[in-house]
Amino acid sequence: MADNKKKVEAITSMDVDFAQWYTDVVKKAELIDYTSVKGCMVIKPAGYAIWELIQKQLDDRFKETGVENVYLPMFIPESLLQKEKDHVEGFAPEVAWVTHGGLNPLQERLCVRPTSETLFCDFYKNDIQSYRDLPKVYNQWCSVVRWEKETRPFLRSREFLWQEGHTAHATAEEAEERTIQMLNVYADFCEEVLAMPVVKGKKTDKEKFAGAESTYTIEALMHDGKALQSGTSHNFGNGFAKAFGIQYTGKDNKLEYVHQTSWGMTTRLIGALIMVHGDDNGLVLPPKVAPCQVMIIPIMQKKEGVLEKAEELRSRLVKVGARVKVDDSDKSPGWKFSEQEMRGIPLRVEIGPKDIEAGKCMVARRDTGEKTEVELDKLEETVTGLLEQIQKEMLERARNHRDEHTYVATNMTELQEILDNKPGFVKAMWCGEQGCEDTIKEKFAATSRCMPFEQEELSKTCVCCGKPATKMVYWGRAY
Amino acid sequence: MADNKKKVEAITSMDVDFAQWYTDVVKKAELIDYTSVKGCMVIKPAGYAIWELIQKQLDDRFKETGVENVYLPMFIPESLLQKEKDHVEGFAPEVAWVTHGGLNPLQERLCVRPTSETLFCDFYKNDIQSYRDLPKVYNQWCSVVRWEKETRPFLRSREFLWQEGHTAHATAEEAEERTIQMLNVYADFCEEVLAMPVVKGKKTDKEKFAGAESTYTIEALMHDGKALQSGTSHNFGNGFAKAFGIQYTGKDNKLEYVHQTSWGMTTRLIGALIMVHGDDNGLVLPPKVAPCQVMIIPIMQKKEGVLEKAEELRSRLVKVGARVKVDDSDKSPGWKFSEQEMRGIPLRVEIGPKDIEAGKCMVARRDTGEKTEVELDKLEETVTGLLEQIQKEMLERARNHRDEHTYVATNMTELQEILDNKPGFVKAMWCGEQGCEDTIKEKFAATSRCMPFEQEELSKTCVCCGKPATKMVYWGRAY
């Protein structure tokens, strides 16, 4: 049977094998497919529609802060990539190189952008002359390429989609302000739209972006207790400006270097959605990023009037702004239920001949499994109310999970005990020396996720070396 | 003065040097900048905002016809590109080749996609099994790369943005239907949104897409009388399906090849907007793709109440759905007028102390230069009415220009006379032999633009060889 491949099979339980569960969800919710190009994926309609909703809502938030979108080339001449020393060291080992155009070798090889700081600098160098040209607050939506050895759908692939903001400012203060502002936009977006709580903080020098003065991050906790870096915002100071010669004439007629920032979020967020909200029945999507929010499933659909009623309910719900579909395929209702669950559609409406007679329908929540009988003339208010409630409660549940899986360690024995037995974030004090980060990484395969903005004094001494502590750090094993 | 570069200088007149006029507009309306990467451009905020409006409105029209968006990799393994013979011959000479990933040479080189037929085929080969999987109506928004020797902003560059739709169908009829359907979507979009009339027709075999069974096109006429191919839709029959082995099991349990189409539109449309509507004062944008539709320019803005009133008008106009800005910079009003004109903003509202006192303001149309005094309490209805009227009249003017510059030739003498003295479309009969197309191209540097759907019998014989004619063709010099 050609149709066998469509059967909704049980997926691996997340408690049995989380990695396999993740891959199963990605494949069976039809988010992604593998390709002939090693490490590159196809984002299928169900996956891309989530990305479109992320894009739209994030872009609206950007624009409210004055961001303007642009598009820069995907190629970077080798000499341009090399202008900022730390940056090229960080990226050169993992870029793809174009060496031929048509039948001819290029005079200078070009890399496919792994990120576009150097291109924006080259552009700003000419575009910025006077203080009147500042600030520049530009962003682009595009794909970038990093030649990773090991790849996983959404989390790490050789090509991925993202947005990269690149700004230039007159003063250091203004650049720092924008860096933090965009981190806050990211954090609010994750909480309010993705229902995903994050820890905001600063990366240690070891973990910061190649060429940045400081890197800020939002870190989320996945269901298996691993951390996922979900968005970063970098302050470059005037380092790139000096390397590229980006100067402006101030009001006092003096030449000054600009101060720059960059910040990015990627399709990795879809991986985060899966691993924060998913369960053993598949994907669970927060209503705000669910391409379909309500699936209406007719029962005994061949009976007169059932499909008509389903269609009537659909059009009523569309009128109140919900994204709704009717599954009128010739599969069995049970099969349709499984598919709706696998795809993470927040609400299911079941409607059959008896319901119609009784003037009722059944509404089932994907997140809790709860089923309620609803009078047909109250369907609109019930559905809009439930969608709001689901969005809110998904965030609460994710926050509880995060809090319940955040531990404190004051010495290496405790740290190891937690990392080995209780996967999650570990808060611990740190002396500020990279040596201790290296030791912890080597011994426990854990890294410093961030120095959170909300600092606590858990003890006086570094969890690793016992010397006086200067910072509280979130540690964890990460994707 | 650092600000000199901002001065609104007169641009070259289009009658003096159309090519230079075009470049001047592109630069001075701040649509594009050149980069260190030869043949690649930066699309600046004013240019990208137009593209966003095009994207949004075209994408909405796609989705109404059932199109789903996806994202496929940007790299094509060489062996994959080579699977369809005509296709690889058409594209191999102009692709960019990636030969190294990080520090290592690749086992097989990859080209950066010039178009994605081969990738979609490779994907569909596994994704399509049964007639239940059909049709597939997928599209992606991305950039593509073609290593062109001569480039011009928007019209021809080594990297450009576009959308490419790729569909698979059970029958030849359905594929042909979709090919024509998307051509009609394009044509309606050009007329209704870009205010740009187009001629719909079929390409001759000589001009069709590499690998296609038939190519349909929409052709627009630029202000200088040159033609611009503005969108194409291809029917591949089952040629690619056979080359890639894309088969499905039909209802009768037999294996069949799918029938495929593809269709695309690009950032070249922005070039078309410039050359169809622009004038010697710069860009003229149809309201539907104008990122800013109304620029409010305060007169004597330092006087009390002027800026406040300007802001009040702005917020009133925003409420009725217009895209409005206030230019409160410290430039002179005259300077601001020139900038608003250069950027093609459809309406200008002038408001100063005397106007406020009289309860009036001045509204100026960018397309006709017409100025009207408007009572402040009638501003909303006037502005929304004018925006609609401008959209409509810009299409009418462009259509008149196109019709006035469409000629008929019945022999080679007439054809030459027209092409040399009256730039425009030339309608002429054709025998159907490629030899005649070659002759006309060689002698007059003109090509067959399309065999229009609306055929006429202008004469009985081919314009070139005098043998019996089979088709009427639009000929022209093209971008």
Beta bridge partners of A364: A348, A371
Asked whether the beta carbons of B49 and A12 are under 8 A apart, the reply is: no
Residue finishing a domain among A222, A253, A277: A277
CA angle B332, B11, B155 (to 5 degrees): 120
- Point out the residue among A45, A96, A99 whose CB comes nearest to the CB of B69: A45
CATH of the domain at A436: 3.30.110.30
B397 lies in a domain? no
Q: Tell me how far apart the alpha carbons of residues B24 and B394 are, in angstroms, rounded to a whole number.
A: 22
Distance from CA of B429 to the nearest CA of A (A): 37
Distance from CA of B239 to the nearest CA of A (A): 21
Residue finishing a domain among A235, A251, A277: A277
A393 lies in a domain? no
Claim to verify: residue A26 and residue A91 sit in the same structural domain:
yes
Mean pLDDT of chain B: 96
Chain B: residue nearest A103 by CA?
A: B93
Beta bridge partners of A296: A326, A349
What tokens appear for A324 in the block?
Answer: 């709704």
CATH of the domain at B341: 3.40.50.800
Distance from CA of A312 to the nearest CA of B (A): 19
Claim to verify: residue B273 and residue B298 sit in the same structural domain:
no
A2 lies in a domain? no
Q: Tell me how far apart the alpha carbons of residues A58 and A230 are, in angstroms, rounded to a whole number.
A: 14
Query: Letter for the amino acid at A453?
Result: F
Interchain CB distance below 8 Å, A35 and B132: no
Interchain CB distance below 8 Å, A40 and B112: no
CB atoms within 10 A of CB B31: 28
Claim to verify: residue B258 and residue B300 sit in the same structural domain:
no
Closest CA to B291 of B24, B57, B48, B61: B48
* Long-range Cβ pairs for the range A361-370 (8 Å, 24+): A361/A313, A365/A390, A366/A284, A366/A285, A366/A340, A366/A341, A366/A390, A367/A277, A367/A284, A367/A393, A367/A394, A367/A397, A368/A393
Distance from CA of A235 to the nearest CA of B (A): 23
Q: Tell me how far apart the alpha carbons of residues B404 and B401 are, in angstroms, rounded to a whole number.
A: 5
Whole-Å CA distances, B62 to B135, B137, B217? 15, 10, 17
Query: Letter for the amino acid at B143?
Result: S
Q: How many CA atoms does the CB half-sphere of B136 hold within 13 Å? A: 30
- Point out the residue among B2, B102, B129 whose CB comes nearest to the CB of A5: B129
For tokens 């952008």, the residue is: A113
Distance from CA of A408 to the nearest CA of B (A): 40
Chain B residues with CB inside 8 Å of A97's CB? 98-101
Chain A residues with CB inside 8 Å of B161's CB? 71
B76 lies in a domain? yes
**Distance from chain centroid for Cα B70:** 22
* Residues written for chain A: 479
Q: Tell me how far apart the alpha carbons of residues A471 and A454 are, in angstroms, rounded to a whole number.
A: 11
Asked whether the beta carbons of A213 and A240 are under 8 A apart, the reply is: no
Claim to verify: residue A104 and residue A54 sit in the same structural domain:
yes
Claim to verify: residue A415 and residue A357 sit in the same structural domain:
no
Closest CA to B168 of B240, B62, B90: B240
Interchain CB distance below 8 Å, A97 and B95: no
For residue B403, give every residue at least 6 positions away whose Cβ sits within 8 Å of its Cβ, in sequence order, or none. Answer: none
For residue A344, give every residue at least 6 positions away whose Cβ sits within 8 Å of its Cβ, in sequence order, or none. Answer: A29, A277, A278, A282, A283, A284, A285, A290, A366
Claim to verify: residue A240 and residue A269 sit in the same structural domain:
yes
A84 lies in a domain? yes
Interchain CB distance below 8 Å, B6 and A112: no
Distance from CA of B70 to the nearest CA of A (A): 5
Asked whether the beta carbons of B212 and B234 are under 8 A apart, the reply is: yes
* Residues written for chain B: 479
- Point out the residue among A70, A101, A145 whose CB comes nearest to the CB of B45: A70
* Strand-by-strand arrangement of the A68-69 sheet: A68-69, A136-145, A159-169, A259-266, A227-237, A214-221, A199-202, A447-452, A471-476, A425-430, A406-408
Q: Tell me how far apart the alpha carbons of residues B469 and B184 are, in angstroms, rounded to a whole number.
A: 27
Q: Tell me how far apart the alpha carbons of residues A183 and A169 are, in angstroms, rounded to a whole number.
A: 17
Q: How many CA atoms does the CB half-sphere of A308 hold within 13 Å? A: 5
Claim to verify: residue B123 and residue B183 sit in the same structural domain:
yes
Claim to verify: residue B361 and residue B432 sit in the same structural domain:
no
Whole-Å CA distances, A291 to A8, A160, A343, A344, B70? 20, 20, 10, 10, 13
Chain A residues with CB inside 8 Å of B142's CB? 143
Q: Which of A3, A32, A36, A91 should be substituted to probe chain B, the one whose Cβ sees the most B Cβ atoms within 10 Å?
A: A36
- For B81-139, how does the pLDDT look when each residue is reduced to its tens digit (9 = 90+)? 999 888 888 888 899 999 999 889 999 999 999 999 999 999 999 999 999 999 999 99
Claim to verify: residue B359 and residue B455 sit in the same structural domain:
no
Q: Tell me how far apart the alpha carbons of residues A429 and A472 are, in angstroms, rounded to a whole number.
A: 4
B284 lies in a domain? no
A228 lies in a domain? yes
Q: What's the domain range around A311?
A: 292-386
Q: pTM of the full predicted structure?
A: 0.96
Chain B: residue nearest A3 by CA?
A: B130
Q: Tell me how far apart the alpha carbons of residues B182 and B62 are, in angstroms, rounded to a whole number.
A: 8
Count Cβ atoms within 10 A of the Cβ of residue A302 and give its class: 0-12 exposed, 13-18 middle, 19 or more buried.
Answer: exposed
Return per-residue pLDDT of chain A as tens, 479 residues.
334 334 456 899 999 999 999 999 999 999 999 998 889 999 999 999 999 999 999 999 999 999 999 999 999 999 999 998 888 888 888 999 999 998 899 999 999 999 999 999 999 999 999 999 999 999 999 999 999 989 999 999 999 999 999 999 999 999 999 999 999 999 999 999 999 999 999 999 999 998 999 999 999 999 999 999 999 999 999 999 999 999 999 999 999 999 999 999 999 999 999 999 999 999 999 999 999 999 999 999 999 999 999 999 999 999 999 999 999 999 999 999 999 999 999 999 999 999 999 999 999 999 999 999 999 999 999 999 999 999 999 999 999 999 999 999 999 999 999 999 999 999 999 999 999 999 999 999 999 999 999 999 999 999 999 999 999 999 999 99
DSSP code at position B291 = S
Whole-Å CA distances, A368 to A28, A355, A363, A396? 21, 23, 12, 13
DSSP code at position A152 = B
pLDDT for the residue B8? 53
Q: Which of B1, B68, B70, B94 should be substituted to probe chain A, the one whose Cβ sees the most A Cβ atoms within 10 Å?
A: B70
Please give the span between the terminal C-alpha atoms of chain A, in angstroms, as a whole number. Answer: 39
Asked whether the beta carbons of A54 and B148 are under 8 A apart, the reply is: no
Helix, strand, coil fractions of chain A, as percent rounded to 5: 40, 30, 30
Interchain CB distance below 8 Å, A74 and B143: yes
Q: Tell me how far apart the alpha carbons of residues A183 and A200 are, in angstroms, rounded to a whole number.
A: 8
**Distance from chain centroid for Cα B178:** 20
For tokens 């203004």, the residue is: A174
Number of domains into which chain A is organized: 3
Residue finishing a domain among B229, B254, B277: B277
Asked whether the beta carbons of B477 and B228 are under 8 A apart, the reply is: no
CATH of the domain at B122: 3.30.930.10
- Point out the residue among A37, A43, A77 whose CB comes nearest to the CB of B77: A37
- Point out the residue among B45, B158, B248 whose CB comes nearest to the CB of A68: B45
Q: Tell me how far apart the alpha carbons of residues A32 and A161 are, in angstroms, rounded to a whole number.
A: 13
For tokens 């990122």, the residue is: B291
What tokens appear for B46 in the block?
Answer: 């004013």
| ipTM greater than 0.90 | yes
Give the strand pairing for A294-298 and A347-351.
parallel
Query: Letter for the amino acid at A342?
Result: M
Chain A residues with CB inside 8 Å of B64's CB? none
pLDDT for the residue B472? 98
pLDDT for the residue B1? 33
pLDDT for the residue A25? 97
Claim to verify: residue B98 and residue B237 sit in the same structural domain:
yes
Interchain CB distance below 8 Å, B74 and A143: yes
Return per-residue pLDDT of chain B as tens, 479 residues.
334 334 456 899 999 999 999 999 999 999 999 998 889 999 999 999 999 999 999 999 999 999 999 999 999 999 999 998 888 888 888 999 999 998 899 999 999 999 999 999 999 999 999 999 999 999 999 999 999 989 999 999 999 999 999 999 999 999 999 999 999 999 999 999 999 999 999 999 999 998 999 999 999 999 999 999 999 999 999 999 999 999 999 999 999 999 999 999 999 999 999 999 999 999 999 999 999 999 999 999 999 999 999 999 999 999 999 999 999 999 999 999 999 999 999 999 999 999 999 999 999 999 999 999 999 999 999 999 999 999 999 999 999 999 999 999 999 999 999 999 999 999 999 999 999 999 999 999 999 999 999 999 999 999 999 999 999 999 999 99
Claim to verify: residue A28 and residue A108 sit in the same structural domain:
yes
Size of interface A-B (CB pairs under 8 A): 161
pLDDT for the residue A277? 98
pLDDT for the residue A5? 38
A449 lies in a domain? yes
Claim to verify: residue B266 and residue B318 sit in the same structural domain:
no
Give the strand pairing for B227-237 and B247-249.
unpaired
pLDDT for the residue A7? 46
